[in-house]
A and B are shown apart, each in its own frame.
Chain A
Amino acid sequence: MRFLDSMNDSTDQYEAELSGFPVVSESSKFSGRDPLEILVAEYSERKRQGQPASIEEYAEKYPDLADEIRELFPMVAAMEKWKQGKESDSLRQNVPETLKIDRLGDCRIVRELARGGMGIVLEAQQDSTNRRVAVKMLPWRSDYVPEWKDQFQQEAKTLAKLRHPNIVPLLSFGEYRGFCYYVMPFITGVGLNWIVDRFREKEGVVYADEIAKLRAEQTVENQQTEKKRSNTESAELEVLVPADPKAEKHRSLSRQSWKKFATIALQIASGLRYAHSQGVLHNDIKPANILLDAEGRVWITDFGLAQPIDREAPEVGESIAGTLRYMAPERLSGDGDARSDIYSLGVTLYELLTLSPIWEETDHNKLAQLILDSTPLPPREVNPKIPRELEAIILKAINGDLKSRYQSASEMAADLLRYLKGQPISAPKISRIKFFFRNLKRRGRSE
């Protein structure tokens, strides 16, 4: 190590001291300090301690310095606030690249699937069940902020109780070097975001065996030494979406598979209905959190935990717009309820059917503004081939006025079912309704 020269300045000075350091006398503590600076220091310290500190109070107490106090203290408050934000950020995105994990609890880590602002996703083998699992490790340092850990454990306990055919179950959870993680079964499927991307390409068809192959390729790539593989990859795959198994021989999903989309939506709605009945909100329904497996089953993943645990805390980098886009307006100004999940499901369907995001905007402030006070283009104006009924269902789900939205997931599921059976739906079709979008007054969503 090299040390700066200035460190050695005092080498000789204190060599003779027998014990301790010379005591700095009280008077020298304020030697020549600008009186304003002393006040600023006190004010900063009070802010840091979370004590109430009012600029006006200081201005009144020190009238001679009142002008300076009113001018400079706001800077101090701003700097402190800004620092808090930065620190909070880094505690959350601080999963270092060097963090290599071989084993978590009874899971042997096989490979890393993804790493990003939202944490690390690992593929693993669970010893006790010999089951292929996915481990998601959250990116924030819960050992620094005990409340995060408590909240994580509390949520994880609740989520571990959820059992539904359309919800990826939480098998177990734990903590490793300050990072919380949870274990889920490994789903051989793709996110709806992947499906949408495929549809945007010219061919516009997704084949069931493609989903399996995609997974298999990843496996071969990363697993050359590993002989055995879960047999899901090589298994003969059934119809992608079993909406109508007899008629369906193509094992594929295309841009205009309207009924299949409705089946997907129905499965999501029914998963949500169950979760809501258990008092659990998802809070982050979006295409990437809906997995479709090669058998056509839908899996809702990342329940609750994908949400930044601290509501006030920032989300990380590019994922902001990705999550914000699907967020209900009432969530932006407070917390939502079950109907906020329905809204997000509506936006997800909007994207799946129109193949374009409901808002193109990527700047998150502008996006927030759009969500709060604009009306999206009705789906059929994007693609006239979309059935009126599905359009009506989506519009009812994304209605900015909470009272006009589906009041529950079962209500929405019922309409989807009616559509699938060719019965009249409850949602008003667009030509006949005034499509109210949010106004700024309605922030309270107290109804």
Chain B
Amino acid sequence: MTDNESESSELVNRVLEGDEQALAELFSECRDRLWRMVNFRMDPRLRKRVDPDDVLQEAYMNAVQRIDKFRAEASRSILIWFRMIVTQTMVDIYRRHLGAQKRSAGRDVSMHGGWKSDSTSMSLSFHLLGHLTSPSHAALRAEISQQIDTALSTMNDIDREVLALRHFEELSNNEAAQVLNITEQAASLRYVRALSRLKDVMEAIPGFLDEWQTDEPAS
């Protein structure tokens, strides 16, 4: 067990005793990945009104309220426990601000929020312009980022979700399995299958594989 882990388990013990300071430390260890999740999942309409930091702040307060449930609920993964709380907080905030129908609110937040930002692919392709070696190359890359958007939107919910968990939220296989409530083995297979479906869609785009197979310097 690494130092890090033993520090964490020390924190865990303190949280189990009701130490809020320790809870705050655990929360801040997970903060980056929680931010990623909020940033990615947040409905674009909500995003205009609420900062992801505010969501995390409120989620943390909710976690404090729930500290006595920590042992029962967080035993498998602390990150996933926080993530649940953050998700629920987001739903609450969503309802408060957008007054949406009960039924659709949760779905929008958890499944679709991140996939339909119209401006993103455009911005991204501009981002890529910075690297352009020729205009046609740039156009191709821009095309690709739009194609990824489209490709993802044609995939089924579970494939899309597994890709989101593994990439946008940077969850491990184990964590993704917990979120999806399936075994690690199943989660692992689903992820590989989703990648391979993505590949099938992307293969239709000329030049795509050439583009990404050329190893780029790590950025």
Contacts and interface: CB of A to CB of B under 8 A. Distances in A.
A21 B12 CA distance: 8
Contacts of B27: none
A10 B72 contact: yes
Contacts of A22: 75
A2 B92 CA distance: 9
A316 interface: yes
Interface residues of B, number: 85
Contacts of A83: 40, 167-168
Contacts of B148: 78-79, 82
Interface string B127-152: 11111111110110010110010000
Interface residues of A, number: 81
A64 interface: no
B88 A50 contact: no
B203 to A, nearest CB: 9
A1 B127 contact: no
A161 B141 CA distance: 40
Contacts of B120: 85-86, 89
Nearest to A36: B192
A232 interface: no
A20 B9 contact: yes
Given A37-B189, A74-B212, A78-B148, A440 B39 contact: no
Given A97-B49, A364-B126, A373-B135, A32 B188 contact: yes
A312 B212 contact: no
Given A55-B215, A80-B167, A1 B62 contact: yes
Contacts, number: 215
Contact of A312 (B130, B134, B217): B130
B154 interface: no
Interface in A389-425: none
B204 interface: no
Contact of B184 (A20, A31, A74, A440): A31
Contact of B173 (A41, A52, A311): A41
A333 B88 contact: no
Interface string A15-44: 101011110000001011110111011001
B30 to A, nearest CB: 15
Interface string B193-219: 001101100100000110111011111
15 contacts: A1-B65, A1-B92, A3-B84, A37-B173, A44-B166, A44-B167, A44-B170, A52-B218, A54-B215, A71-B199, A74-B213, A75-B199, A94-B47, A369-B136, A373-B135
Interface of A: 1-4, 6-8, 10-11, 13-15, 17, 19-22, 29, 31-34, 36-38, 40-41, 44, 46-48, 50-56, 70-72, 74-90, 94, 96-99, 311-317, 320, 332-333, 364-366, 368-369, 372-373, 440
Interface of B: 9, 12-13, 16, 36, 39-40, 47-52, 54, 62, 65-66, 71-76, 81, 84-85, 88-89, 92, 114, 117, 119-120, 122-136, 138-139, 142, 144-145, 148, 163, 166-168, 170, 172-174, 181, 183-185, 188-189, 191-192, 195-196, 198-199, 202, 208-209, 211-213, 215-219
Given A47-B218, A74-B211, A312-B130, 16 more contacts: A1-B66, A13-B75, A20-B16, A33-B184, A34-B185, A34-B192, A36-B192, A37-B188, A52-B217, A53-B215, A80-B167, A97-B48, A317-B122, A332-B129, A365-B139, A372-B135
